[in-house]
Structure 1
Amino acid sequence: MTSTTSSPALDAVALVEEIADLVRENYVFPDVARQLADLLQRRSAEDSYRTESAEELAEAVTADLRSVNGDLHLGLKYHAVPVPPERGAAVLAAVRREFDTFLNGVPRVELLDGGVAVLEIGPKLFPLDWAAQPLTAALSLVAPARGLILDLRRNTGGDPNTVAFVCAYLLDGRTHLNTMVSPKDEVGAQSWTPSFVPGARFGGSKPLYVLTSGDTFSGGEELAYDLQQLKRAEVVGEVTRGGAHPREGWTLHPHLELGVPIARAVNPVSGTNWEGVGVRPDVPCDAGEALDRALELALARLA
Structure 2
Amino acid sequence: MTSTTSTTSATSTALDSGAVVESIADLVRENYVFPDIARDLADLLRRRAAEGAYRAETAEELAEAVTADLRSVNGDQHLAVHHHEEPVPAERGAAVLAAMRRDFDSTLGGVPRVELLEGGVAVLEIGPKMFPLDWAAQPLTAALSLVAPASALILDLRRNTGGDPDTVAFVCGYLLERRTHLITMLSKQGTVAEQSWSAAHVPGARFGGSKPLYVLTSAATFSAGEELAYDLQQLGRAAVVGEATRGGAHPRNGWTVHPHLELSVPVARGVSPVSGTNWEGTGVLPDVPCEAGVALERALALALQK
TM over 0.5: yes
- Aligned to 1:243, the other structure's residue is in SS state coil
Of 81, 92, 99, the residue aligned with 1:87 is 92
Do the aligned residues in 1 keep the contact of 2:245 with 2:283 (CA within 8 Å)? Answer: yes
Partner of 1:68: 73
Pairwise CA distance, 1:184: 4.4
Pairwise CA distance, 1:97: 0.4
Of 29, 45, 52, the residue aligned with 1:47 is 52
2:159 is the counterpart of 1:154: yes
Q: Give me the whole-angstrom Cα distance separating, in 1, the residues matched to 2:95 and 2:67.
A: 17
Tell me the matched-pair count. 296
Q: Deviations over 1:69-112 (max 9, x none)?
A: 00000011100111111011000000000000111100000000
Letter in 2 for 1:124: K
Q: Give me the whole-angstrom Cα distance separating, in 2, the residues matched to 1:257 and 1:212.
A: 28
Q: Give me the whole-angstrom Cα distance separating, in 2, the residues matched to 1:185 and 1:142.
A: 40
Pairwise CA distance, 1:187: 2.7
Q: 5 Å matches for 1:203-242?
A: 203-242=208-247
Q: Deviations over 1:37-87 (max 9, x none)?
A: 000000000111012310000000000000000000001110011111101
2:218 is the counterpart of 1:191: no
Structure 2: segments with no counterpart, 5+ residues: 1-10
Q: Give me the whole-angstrom Cα distance separating, in 2, the residues matched to 1:133 and 1:245.
A: 27
2:109 is the counterpart of 1:104: yes
Structure 1 moving runs of 4+ over 4 Å: none
TM-score normalized by the length of structure 1: 0.96
TM-score normalized by the length of structure 2: 0.95
Q: 5 Å matches for 1:281-292?
A: 281-292=286-297
2:207 is the counterpart of 1:202: yes
Q: Deviations over 1:86-145 (max 9, x none)?
A: 011000000000000111100000000000000000000100000000000000000000
Partner of 2:4: none
Pairwise CA distance, 1:8: 2.2
Pairwise CA distance, 1:216: 0.4
Q: Give me the whole-angstrom Cα distance separating, in 2, the residues matched to 1:185 and 1:216.
A: 27
Letter in 2 for 1:13: G
Q: 5 Å matches for 1:153-192?
A: 153-184=158-189, 186-192=191-197
Partner of 1:3: none
Letter in 1 for 2:78: H
2:64 is the counterpart of 1:59: yes
| Segment drifting more, 114-123 vs 188-197 | 188-197
Partner of 2:124: 119
- Aligned to 2:81, the other structure's residue is in SS state strand
Of 31, 40, 43, the residue aligned with 1:38 is 43
Pairwise CA distance, 1:7: 5.3
Do the aligned residues in 1 keep the contact of 2:160 with 2:221 (CA within 8 Å)? Answer: yes
Q: Give me the whole-angstrom Cα distance separating, in 1, the residues matched to 2:88 and 2:13.
A: 13
Task: State the percentage of identical aligned residues.
Answer: 77
Partner of 1:243: 248
Of 241, 259, 265, the residue aligned with 1:260 is 265
- Aligned to 1:16, the other structure's residue is in SS state helix
- Aligned to 2:191, the other structure's residue is in SS state strand
Of 290, 293, 302, the residue aligned with 1:297 is 302
Q: Give me the whole-angstrom Cα distance separating, in 2, the residues matched to 1:261 and 1:187.
A: 15
